[in-house]
Amino acid sequence: MILSGQEIRNRLGSDIRITPFEEDCLNPNSYNLSLHHELLVYEEVVLDAKQPNRFRRIAIPDEGIILSPGQIYLGRTIEHTETHNLVPMIEGRSSIARLGLFVHCSSGFGDAGFCGHWTIEMFAVQPVRIYAGLRICQIFFHEVTGQIREYCSEKYQHNHDVQPSLLYKEFKHSRPSEQLEFSFESLASKCCSSASEHQREETVQLAQATV
């Protein structure tokens, strides 16, 4: 059974917490969640399920950002949610779907006990411009029958940031846990180091030739 909008409101502060909460985001049987201003984009040509993958951060400017087809854009909700004794789920809004934008790749199913910001995996059918603060998706809640064992995973519980895939943690022989954030500053540093090393090698070769 899915909770009505009125029942969502009635359970705020007990089974359901949504921060911040705005009354005009409440729907007949769901609540609209908004897009944070920061996105993550993977830098690998081929993503590896057994290893952490490099990524870079993109800030959405005031004029918006154009999402291109063939690329996964990881974002997160502005809202922080906490759910007990219910199963939270997120889905795209019909107005967003009519722009050809998917807001999750088969991961809209939540768990009772989940606490944190929702990471969303956006994929565009055609180029589309989006904006920070856009009401990107909606959360709704299912009642559960039977005994509940609440979600307590160390991977995604209590998220406060956009969270890339941590699937590699499920493999016994994967590399140590680490976030490989890519930035132009780190790339420039590596290039400078490589250039310095190359220059040292040339100096040694020149000295040897002189001798």
Catalytic residue numbers read 121
Tokens of 70: 């063939």
For the chain, the straight-line distance linking the first and the last C-alpha, in angstroms and rounded, comes to 86
Long-range own/partner contacts, residues 94-102 (CB < 8 A, 24 or more apart) = 96/136, 96/137, 99/128, 100/124, 100/125, 100/126, 100/128, 101/67, 101/125, 101/128, 101/130
Other beta carbons less than 10 A from residue 3's beta carbon: 20
> Please, are residues 141 and 2 in contact by the beta-carbon 8 Å criterion?
yes
